[in-house]
A = this chain, B = another copy of it.
Amino acid sequence: MGNRQITLAQRPIGMIDESTTTLVDAPMPICGPDEALIKVGLLSIDPTIRTWMNDAPGYLPPIGIGDVIRSGGSGVVMESNHERYRVGDVVLGVTGWQEWAKASESNKFTVLPTGLGLDLATVMNVLGTTGLTAYFGLLDVGAFKEGDVVVVSGAAGATGSVVGQIAKARGAKKVVGIAGGAEKCSEVVETYGFDECLDYREPGLTQRIRESCPKGVDVYFDNVGGAILDAALANISMNARIVMCGAISQYNATERGPGVANTSMLITRRGQMKGFIVFDFAHRYAEAHLELAAMVLDGRITHQEHLVTGLEHAPDALNLLFTGGNHGKTLVVVDDSVQLS
């Protein structure tokens, strides 16, 4: 039995295509001392994967040419030589785009609790890096407080949709989403319960944010960067906080865009822009898991997962994030027998 893997063939320019990755048949990995062998069930498809394909300094090193594409994922432990993992455990960690992964000292996995009453896809969405990013980004980095006016870009996306729902649940005065197209905007309001959603594909975004938030934006949660960040900056309130979470508008950029012009608003309005990576909060995941699980179970968080079946379709699934073709958290089903029961 082999291990199908998707490796990086060459660094992409712009969107990834067939020449970017290679599907290879590797031998089954062997479970060495202090290791565990994991059958991969679901892959978490996140925009940040695209940034790792570039030969540019980041918060993690670039993926090497010929290496398996780095990715979050979940699976079931099939063999274990480590006391941390038992056969049958469902685990979450960095699996990579492949059928079999190994847990080791340098690549640790989290054993997922059973009995929560949540399925694996839900856990990978709301209790995975997606939901954790929303939680710590809004509450810690953004220092959200009751009565704040919150604007979220990428509002129909996996992270953005959770940001808005946490803000509503915690007593925001108003939550305004920004998304691309009428269908996404309708989803943001109807499905995720935002007060409003602005379509960034329509002209005059700066003015429309002003009309939606006449007293200014207290927290802007930025998943997008570029021109949308600039429009939000133009509308910040006094002491506003801009949460720099992602810049999906820039990840496939092949040329320098117009850049952000309104940084002086930070002076005028005494605002701050602050970036973060969710891994910085790893020591506090437990508190977030409790609140997020409770919010899913009692219906305060609505979530959707967009399942793409087949390891070989992982590159297409990644591109969906940039074309807007997904609805909710994008996951690739590598083996549907892996379940959290």
Contact = CB atoms under 8 A, between A and B. Distances in A.
Interface residues of A, number: 33
Interface string A265-301: 1111111111111001000000000000000000000
Given A244-B266, A263-B260, A274 B271 contact: yes
A259 B260 CA distance: 5
Given A258-B258, A259-B260, A272-B273, A267 B245 contact: yes
A257 interface: yes
Contacts of A250: 264
This protein's copies in its complex: 2
A267 B277 contact: yes
A270 to B, nearest CB: 6
B266 A261 contact: no
A137 to B, nearest CB: 10
A230 B258 CA distance: 13
Given A259-B230, A259-B259, A264 B247 contact: yes
A193 interface: no
Given A258-B258, A259-B230, A259-B259, A270 B264 contact: no
Given A260-B260, A261-B256, A268 B59 contact: yes
A246 B116 CA distance: 52
A40 interface: no
Overall SS of chain A's interface: loop
A256 B271 CA distance: 22
A314 to B, nearest CB: 24
B273 A266 contact: yes
12 contacts: A58-B268, A59-B269, A225-B264, A244-B264, A244-B266, A244-B267, A257-B259, A260-B260, A268-B275, A270-B275, A271-B275, A272-B273
Given A247-B263, A263-B273, A266-B274, 19 more contacts: A57-B268, A225-B263, A247-B267, A256-B258, A256-B261, A257-B261, A259-B259, A260-B260, A265-B275, A266-B273, A266-B275, A267-B276, A267-B277, A268-B277, A270-B275, A270-B276, A270-B277, A270-B280, A273-B273
